[in-house]
Amino acid sequence: MEQKPPSAENIWLSISLADYEAHMSLPEVGQAQALARELGRLLLEFKPASVALVGCAGGNGLGEVDPAVTSRVVALDINPSFVAAADKRHGRRFATFEPVVCDVASDGEVPFKPVSLVFAGLLLEYVQPEKLLRFALESLERGGILACVVQLPCESLPEVTPSPFSSLEVLAPHISLVSPEAVVGRAEALGFSHISSRLNTMPNGKELLTLVFRK
């Protein structure tokens, strides 16, 4: 397994994957299902030969990847136990599966060869957009696709939805919602072309926006 130590203490290193996944798939939260669906749509639209799931957690969405179309998968996360879970669950389905432990906010070379599509679902809430966009730029082939799913502000709901999984409350001080316009502006300044945006409303009313760019 490729290993790059995190540059700084990151709250995600203390999160239990079981609690995170149980929270994200609660019927009223529904974000695990929405993120997997969104990846599935992008795969059908772009038919990438290779994909990097950046901030992969336990590999949510990888069940949507058809190995006959996408033979190479990179599953990357800062938390080694998340990457190990993604590898255990999905590694054997693909001709090439690259589990990568890496902090995308740390400067340095991208530790895998370029891919055709990068998917970053709900990562911009925890990583500075500039850092993630630069990482994605280096991760993509020319003409490759970057899709970022971001959570939109909602006045009536807290940023981390309350749930029985109270261990996740430690995330609340670390989440920082980003303005989609600012992400598009920064991405375009780096040379990406913004090709589409798609809004998804969760069962509890939260809204997720998928921003799609071409390098």
Ligand X SMILES: C[S@@+](CC[C@H](N)C(=O)[O-])C[C@H]1O[C@@H](n2cnc3c(N)ncnc32)[C@H](O)[C@@H]1O
Residues that bind ligand X (CB under 6 A): 10, 12, 24, 32, 35, 55, 57, 60-61, 77-79, 82, 103-105, 121-123, 126-127
Nearer residue to ligand X within complex by CB, 77 or 98: 77
- Measured between alpha carbons, how far is residue 193 from residues 39, 76, 148 in Å? 19, 24, 13
Nearer residue to ligand X within complex by CB, 22 or 190: 22
Nearer residue to ligand X within complex by CB, 3 or 193: 3
d(CA 208, CA 120): 12
Give min distance, CB of 4 to ligand X, in A.
9
Name the token pair of 6: 């995190």
Nearer residue to ligand X within complex by CB, 93 or 193: 93
Give min distance, CB of 118 to ligand X, in A.
12
Residue nearest to ligand X (CB): 55
Nearer residue to ligand X within complex by CB, 118 or 122: 122
Give min distance, CB of 41 to ligand X, in A.
14
β partners of residue 100: 2, 76
Give min distance, CB of 144 to ligand X, in A.
19
**The dihedral sign for the CA sequence 125, 128, 134, 138:** negative
Nearer residue to ligand X within complex by CB, 88 or 193: 88
Give min distance, CB of 192 to ligand X, in A.
19
Give min distance, CB of 65 to ligand X, in A.
13
Tell me which amino acid residue 176 is.
S
